[in-house]
Structure 1
Amino acid sequence: MADQSPPLKIVQVLPALNSGGVERGTVELARELVRGGHQSVVISAGGRMVEGLIAEGSEHIEMPVHRKSLMSLFQVRPMRRLLAELKPDIVHVRSRVPAWIVWLAWRGMNPNTRPKLVSTFHGMYSVNFYSAIMARAEHMIAISDCVKKYMRSNYHVPEERITLIPRGLDPAAFNRDACSAQWRAELYAAYPELQGKHIVLMPGRLSRWKGQEAFLDMMACLVSLRQDCHGVVVGDAEPGKQHYFEELLAKRDALGLRDKVTFVGHRSDIPAFYALAAVTCHMSNKEEPFGRTVPESLATGTPVVAFDRGGASESLNAGFPQGLVPADDIVAFAIRVDDFIDGDAEIRLPESYYLSSQLASTLGVYRRLLSGEGAN
C-alpha cells in the first residue's frame, strides 16, 4: 500500500559508493524513496555506483567523509552548512566516520529546526569510543536480530530506540528471469568451462573472513563426490589487498582445482549468477551481521548452504533452514551442497526481506521521529 503521508527529504551519508552491502543498501533505499515520491540525497566520497544512483533520481553530493583521520574533522563545518542549506527532514548515517562528521555538525544546529538523526548498525562494531558514535543517533536501525542483541548488550541502547529492519531486496531484480539465454551465451563465450556444469556459487568481495579459502577446501571435497560441478567465485579484492587474490589462486592450483573453480571478479549482474547457480554458498568464518547473499539467492529460487551462525543463520532459518550446516564443518558443507544439486528445494522467503517491507518500516521510523516518538 502506498505511503499517503507528505513526501520527505532524506539525506543518507556513507563513506563511498563503490561496492558492498552497505553501498547497495543505500542505493536501493534511495531508489525506493524516489519511487515513493520522496526527495533522496546521498552524500559520499563518490565511486562507481554514483552514476546509477543519479540515473534513478537521487541527488549525489561528493564530500570527503571517508577518511579515518582527524583531518575529517575539517568537514564538520561544511557539513553543517550543507545540512542547513538542504533542510532535510532526516539525516541517515550508515558508517562511523560519516556519523562523527554528521553528529558534530548536527549538534551545533538549532534543535528546533535541525533534521532528525537516524543511524543504521550494519555490523557488530568494536566496542570503543570511536564506534559508540553510531549509538548517539536519535533512533537506530538494526539489520538483524544478532546485531540488535549486540547493540543492547554492548552499547546499552534502550529497546525503544532500536528498530529491527532486515535489508530488503528487489523482486524485480532477484528472480529466475535474471538469467536470460543471451546472458548465458555471453557468459559461456567468456568462460567455456562453465557450460554443461552445475554451478556452485561463492559471491562476495575477496576478504579473509568471507570464506573463500573454506570454499576452495569445500570444492576439493565436492569434486571427490562428483565431477559435474564447477565453482564460481564472484567478487574482487579490496583496494590494496590484491595479494589475497594471488593467495587464493595459488591455493586453488595447489588443491588441483584450476579447471574446477573460476574467479570472475567484480560483476554487476550478480542476480543472473544466482539464477544460474545450482547452489549458493555462504562461508564467512565469523558471525556476519546480515549476509545479504542468502536472501538474494533464495529470492531467485536457488538454495543456499551456510554455516549456522550470525545473520546468515537468521535468514536461512526464515526461508530455507535445511541449508544450515554446523559452523566450519567443511565435509558436512560439501555433502549438503551435493544433496541440493540433485534435489528439489522448497524455499519460502518472508515478505520482510523485500524492499517494499524495508521501505515501509524505514519510513515508519522516520515518521515516528518527526512526530516526536522514538527518540531519547
Structure 2
Amino acid sequence: MKVMQLLPELNSGGVERGTLEIARALVASGHESLVVSNGGRLVAQLEAEGSRHLNLAIHKKSLSSLWQIRPLRRLIQQHQPDIVHVRSRVPAWLTHFALKGIPAAQRPHLISTVHGFYSVNRYSAIMTQAEKVIAVSDSVVKYITDHYKNCPPEDIVRIYRGIDPRAFPHGYQPSAQWIHQTFADFPQLENKFLICLPGRITRLKGHETLIHLIQKLQADYPDLHAVVVGGADTRKAAYLDELETNIQSLGLTDRITFTGHRPDIREWLAFSNVVLSLSSQAETFGRTVLEALSVGTPVIGWNRGGVAEILNRLYPQGLIDVDDQAALLHAIRQQMDTPQQIAPVTEFSLQDMCDQTIALYDQLLKSG
C-alpha cells in the first residue's frame, strides 16, 4: 500500500519522531511511504530510510495557507496514496478541502492522530473528523470523547506511542569517553547526585518548580545538582534569561546547569540519578518518562495525563499528586537516601505502535 503522512515541519518533537518511525516501518514492510511537510532537518534521515519527502508549505496557522489546497490536491491526485494520515491541525484542514475537490470514488482513506490536548474549538475539531482517529493514550481518548461528541467512539483507536528497547536498553551506561567529555564540558557535575529535567525551555515544563526544589534541598544535600537538558528557541530566549536571573538571585548558579539542546538524551537520562516530569499541563504521552524508565532511571512526575498512565504501569511509586510540593520534596529525599531499582520495561514498544498503526491502515483498505 501507499501511505502519505502530513505534518507541518520535520525538525524535532514527538509528532515528527512518530512520523519517521511509521515511515520506516512502512518501508521495512515493503509499502510505499510519502511524507508531506514544509521540510526541516529530519528530511535527510527520512529519505535515507527509504521514504519520499514532498515539500509543501503546510505549516503556517494563517489564511495564506489556503493557497496550498490546490497544490496539495494535485499531489494527492498525482501520487494516489491509499491512505492519507494527518498529524496536525493545519495539514488536516488543508487535506479536508483538498479531498473535497476529488471525486468520492477516487479519494484515499483518511486517518488522523490526535497528538495533543488541543484547545477545544471548531478549528481543533478537524482532528476528530477522519475515518479512524488514533489517540496516543487513554487520556487522549477521554479528551476526544468528552469534547467531540460527533466523533463516534468506535472510530477512536488508542495506539500508545512506543520506544525501541534496543535503543534504550535496561541498565544502559554512557561510555567512559562520553562521561570524560561531559565532565570536561560541565566540571560542576562530577561526583554529584543528578536530578534531570529534560525538555525544551518553555513555561510549561516546570523549571520554576525545579528551582524551588533545589533551594529547599541544598542545605541537607551538598552533592545535589540539577541538569536541565533541552534548548530554548529564539522565541524563548527571554524566558531562559528570566530563569537564569532567578537562579542567580537565589544563589543557586553552582547547583543548576542548563546543557542546551542535546542529541544524546539517552546518555543524560542514564547518567542522571532521578528524572523529573513536572509539566504544568497534562502531557498526552510522555515519551521521555518512558525512555528514562527503560534505561533504569527512576522518574518522579505529576499524576495526570499520559505520564500518569506510564508511571502507573511501570513505576507507580514515582507518581505525585499534581502540585503537591511537599510530596515531591519527600519523594526526592527518598530517592537520595535510598536509591530505587527499576524493573526492565516490557510495555510501550515501538514495534507494537508500528504494528498496530499498519494493521489499522490495512483494516481500512480491506473495508473498501
Normalising by structure 2, we get a TM-score of 0.95
- Residue among 152, 160, 168 paired with 2:162: 168
Partners of 2:26 and 2:265 lie apart in 1 by 23
Give the aligned residue type for 2:175. Answer: S
Q: Where does residue 54 of structure 1 map in the other structure?
A: 47
| Residue pairs, 1:178-257, within 5 angstroms | 179-257=174-252
Q: 1:226 to 1:142 in 2, by over 3 A?
A: same
Instruction: Verify: 1:18 aligned to 2:11, yes or no.
Output: yes
Displacement of 1:278 in angstroms is 0.8
Q: Where does residue 295 of structure 2 map in the other structure?
A: 300
Q: Where does residue 90 of structure 1 map in the other structure?
A: 83
- Aligned length in residues: 365
- Residue among 254, 258, 261 paired with 1:266: 261
Q: Where does residue 287 of structure 1 map in the other structure?
A: 282
Instruction: Verify: 1:66 aligned to 2:59, yes or no.
Output: yes
- The question of whether the paired residues in 1 share the 8 Å contact of 2:172 and 2:296 is answered with no
Q: Where does residue 74 of structure 2 map in the other structure?
A: 81
Q: 1:137 to 1:239 in 2, by over 3 A?
A: farther
Q: Where does residue 333 of structure 1 map in the other structure?
A: 328
Q: Where does residue 340 of structure 2 map in the other structure?
A: 344
Ranges of 4+ aligned residues in structure 1 off by more than 4 Å: none
Displacement of 1:270 in angstroms is 0.6
Partners of 2:235 and 2:146 lie apart in 1 by 34
Q: Which runs of 5+ in 2 are unaligned?
A: none
Displacement of 1:332 in angstroms is 2.0
Partners of 1:247 and 1:131 lie apart in 2 by 32
- The question of whether the paired residues in 2 share the 8 Å contact of 1:303 and 1:347 is answered with no
For the residue of structure 1 that corresponds to 2:53, the secondary structure is strand
Displacement of 1:199 in angstroms is 1.7
Partners of 1:217 and 1:25 lie apart in 2 by 34
Partners of 2:237 and 2:259 lie apart in 1 by 14
* Offset from partner CA, 1:246-273 (integer Å, 9 cap, x none): 1111122122221111101111111111
Partners of 2:314 and 2:295 lie apart in 1 by 12
Displacement of 1:348 in angstroms is 5.0
Give the aligned residue type for 1:347. Answer: A
Q: 1:227 to 1:31 in 2, by over 3 A?
A: farther
- Residue among 17, 21, 44 paired with 1:28: 21
Give the aligned residue type for 1:301. Answer: G
Partners of 2:79 and 2:332 lie apart in 1 by 51
Displacement of 1:52 in angstroms is 2.1
Q: 1:198 to 1:52 in 2, by over 3 A?
A: farther
Give the aligned residue type for 1:273. Answer: W
Segment drifting more, 142-151 vs 245-254 = 245-254
Partners of 1:300 and 1:190 lie apart in 2 by 23
For the residue of structure 1 that corresponds to 2:141, the secondary structure is helix
Pairwise CA RMSD: 1.6
Q: Which runs of 5+ in 1 are unaligned?
A: 1-7
Partners of 2:123 and 2:329 lie apart in 1 by 40
* Offset from partner CA, 1:277-304 (integer Å, 9 cap, x none): 1111000112221121111111111110
Q: Where does residue 4 of structure 1 map in the other structure?
A: none
* Offset from partner CA, 1:118-139 (integer Å, 9 cap, x none): 1011111112111111111111
Normalising by structure 1, we get a TM-score of 0.93
Displacement of 1:331 in angstroms is 3.1
Q: Where does residue 130 of structure 1 map in the other structure?
A: 123
For the residue of structure 1 that corresponds to 2:66, the secondary structure is helix
* Offset from partner CA, 1:216-249 (integer Å, 9 cap, x none): 1122223233121211111122442211111111
For the residue of structure 1 that corresponds to 2:219, the secondary structure is helix
Q: Where does residue 34 of structure 2 map in the other structure?
A: 41
- The question of whether the paired residues in 2 share the 8 Å contact of 1:222 and 1:335 is answered with no
- The question of whether the paired residues in 1 share the 8 Å contact of 2:21 and 2:354 is answered with no
- The question of whether the paired residues in 1 share the 8 Å contact of 2:296 and 2:344 is answered with no
- The question of whether the paired residues in 1 share the 8 Å contact of 2:4 and 2:36 is answered with yes
* Offset from partner CA, 1:315-366 (integer Å, 9 cap, x none): 1001110001111122321321232243232335342x11000011111211
For the residue of structure 2 that corresponds to 1:40, the secondary structure is strand
Q: Where does residue 142 of structure 1 map in the other structure?
A: 135
For the residue of structure 2 that corresponds to 1:224, the secondary structure is coil
Q: 1:79 to 1:234 in 2, by over 3 A?
A: same
Q: 1:80 to 1:283 in 2, by over 3 A?
A: same
For the residue of structure 2 that corresponds to 1:199, the secondary structure is strand
Q: 1:94 to 1:273 in 2, by over 3 A?
A: same
Partners of 2:341 and 2:172 lie apart in 1 by 18
Give the aligned residue type for 1:294. Answer: V
Partners of 2:220 and 2:26 lie apart in 1 by 48
Q: Where does residue 172 of structure 2 map in the other structure?
A: 177
- The question of whether the paired residues in 2 share the 8 Å contact of 1:20 and 1:205 is answered with no
